[in-house]
Amino acid sequence: MVTVCDNCSMFSIKRFLWREYCLMSRTFCRDHVPSRTQTYAVWRVFHTSACEQHHHLPTSRIPRIRVAMYDHCKRPKFTVCVEGNIGSGKTTLLEYFASVGDVEILAEPVDKWRNVNGHNLLDLMYKDPHRWAHLFQAYVQLTMMEQHLKNTLSPVKLIERSLYSARYCFVENLYREGKMSEAEYNVYCQWYNMIVQNMDVGVDLIVYLRADPEKVFERIKKRSRKEEQLIPLEYLKDLHALHEEWLIEGKHPLPAPVLVLNANEDLPVMERIFKENAASILCSNQLKESASTN
C-alpha cells in the first residue's frame, strides 16, 4: 500500500509505477522523489526522509526498500553488454575477462529464472510458450533491470545480454510468432518504456558475438543444457535475424555503439579475438580519458 503524507503533494505516477514493479511499499513526497539519475539510489533518499520528516508514521509504515544492494558500492564508470544468439559464446567471453583486469562480471541470472519459489519459469516457457512467455519475459525484465542498476567497485561492468535485447530480440520474436498476445506485448512494452525513460539503465558499449544459426545449434546440442534441448534450428534462425535487424541494420534504437566480433570460430581463435579487442571491450581509452579529466 502506498501512503501519502497529508502535508505533501501528489506523488509522481512514474515513481508509483516503478514502485509497483519492484513490489515495494513506501511514503512519497514530491520534495524527495529522486531524479532520473538518482532513481537507483532511492533507498538512501527515502529511508532518510521517512525517518527524519515522517516521524509521525508508525514503524510498520516506514518504507521497506529491497534495492539497498544498489546503495553500498561505487557505481561503475562504464557498462558493457555482451549480446548474441543462444550458444554464440557469451559465457566464454565473460569467463575470459573474469581473469583479466578490474572488471565486474554479471552473467544472465538463469538460476533465478529456474527457481522462482520452486517454479522453473525457463523450463515452463520452453515447454509451453503460449502460456508462459509473457510471465517469463516479465520476470526476465525485472532481473535484467537489477543487473543494470547493480553497483560495483570495478570501473567496468560486463553484463550478459540486457533489457534491450530482451525487448528487441526475444520478446519481439515471441510476438511475431503469436506466442505473446497483442495485449501482453503492449503491457510489456509500456513497462519497458517506463524503465528505460526513467531509470539509469544506459550502457556504453554493446559487444555483438555474431554467429551463424547452424553453428550455435551445433554448440547447443554439445553442451546439453536441459531446457535448451527442445530448441529447434528455426528458432535460432529467427533470433539471429532479429539480432541482425537491431544491431546491424539499425531497425530498432541502439543505446550504445556496437562492436561486432566473429563468433563462428573455435575456442582458441575466439580467445585470440577477445585478446585483440580487449582494450575496446574494457573501455580502456575512455577510462584513461575519464581519469585524466578527474
Q: 77 by DSSP, 3-state: which?
A: coil
Whether 172 sits among the annotated catalytic residues: the reply is no
Catalytic position from the list 108, 160, 172, 184: 160
Q: Which candidate, 245, 234, 123, 225, places its Cα nearest to that of 172?
A: 245
- Which residues are paired to 27 by β-bridges? 3
CA separation (Å) from 250 to 166, 169, 202, 243? 16, 13, 18, 10
Q: By three-state DSSP, how is residue 234 classified?
A: helix
Query: Contact at 8 Å (CB) between 200 and 37?
Result: yes
DSSP string for residues in 251-266: -S--SS-EEEEE--S-
The closest of 81, 51, 76, 80 to 63, measured between CA atoms, is 51
Distance of alpha carbon 163 from the chain centroid: 4
C-alpha cell at 240: 539471429
Angle of helix 90-98 versus helix 267-276 axis, rounded to 10: 60
- The x, y and z cell numbers of residue 14, run together, are 512514474
Catalytic residues: 160
